[in-house]
Amino acid sequence: MRSLCGDRSTAARLSSGKLSRTELRIKAALRDSPVIGVDETGLRVAGGGGYIHVARTERLTHYAFDMRRGKAAMDETGILPRFTGTLVRDGFSSYMWYGQCRHSLCNAHLLRDLVFDEEVAPNQKVWTTPLSKLLLKIKSKVAEVDGELDEPVKSGFLRLYDRLVKKAASLNPPPPKSVATGDVLRNKSPAGPTPCSLIKRLQCRRDEVLRFMADRSVPFDNNGSERDLRMVKLQQKISGCFRTSDGVRNFCRVRSYLSTARKQGHSLLYSLERVLAGKPLLFQIAELASAT
């Protein structure tokens, strides 16, 4: 008698084989979407490490597995190299390779970084706390209005943002450099963003931080991508790990289908029944090019 684990593996493999065209349609729809969120998380596979990459909208989800985390894995998935909309993401540097699209940084991550810096160095509160409040105030204001913010309102927010970042820069001058080599002298510090690195991000990437203020279709944060990754982490918590790379790839394809089905209002049982019958759901792909 086959084990329950074996039955699940067989079912996932059979279902995955019937969903290859559906997966291609989901990926094509994501490439055509005006705004997508992306994220990645580590996964244990066959005693080693790997990564699950997610690309998503409110009505589409695609998961991909790769042993790599960076650009090579994203290129192979085939969504980001041809995406020309707005990419909502965290600060992972590999996303910066995709210059053909606009970028929007996750402000939930930024708020956590601000809290971290003020906990490590309480003197930073003179700018981290006001900046956190400003970001949340802008978020609230954007949610209140019907349409785009008035230009005077946006200009006022930008001036206040710049003033706080300037105050932060004056409080945190760049670290000294070695006279002999010209390299920055680094002291050992707690894990996490240093004030100088955070300030540089706020200065150089202001448009990406405040993209949500200029474009209502762009969310304040990337929490949707993190929510879509929770099922993957739950699966790992329950099973411990995946036994093979093929097994996790089958899981990703089936889970992409089920997550998209749920987002479009279909029950999971009905969606699975359609797959096993060889007739997967035909999602409303054409309409989703304008969905965010």
Residue 182 to residue 141: CA distance in whole angstroms: 45
The dotted CATH code for 4-104+222-290 is 3.30.420
Q: What residues does each domain of the chain span?
A: 4-104+222-290, 107-214
- Within 8 A by CB and 6+ apart from 40, the residues are 51, 52, 53, 54, 69, 92
What pLDDT does 3 receive? Answer: 43
Cα–Cα distance measured from residue 136 to residue 221, given in angstroms and rounded to the nearest whole number? 11
Per-position pLDDT tens, the chain of length 292: 344 345 667 878 889 999 999 999 999 999 999 999 999 999 988 888 899 999 999 999 999 999 999 999 999 999 999 999 999 999 999 999 999 999 999 999 999 999 999 999 999 999 999 999 999 999 999 999 988 899 999 999 999 999 999 999 999 998 776 555 555 555 555 556 789 999 999 999 999 999 999 999 999 999 999 999 998 877 777 776 788 999 999 999 999 999 999 999 999 999 999 999 999 998 876 544 444 4
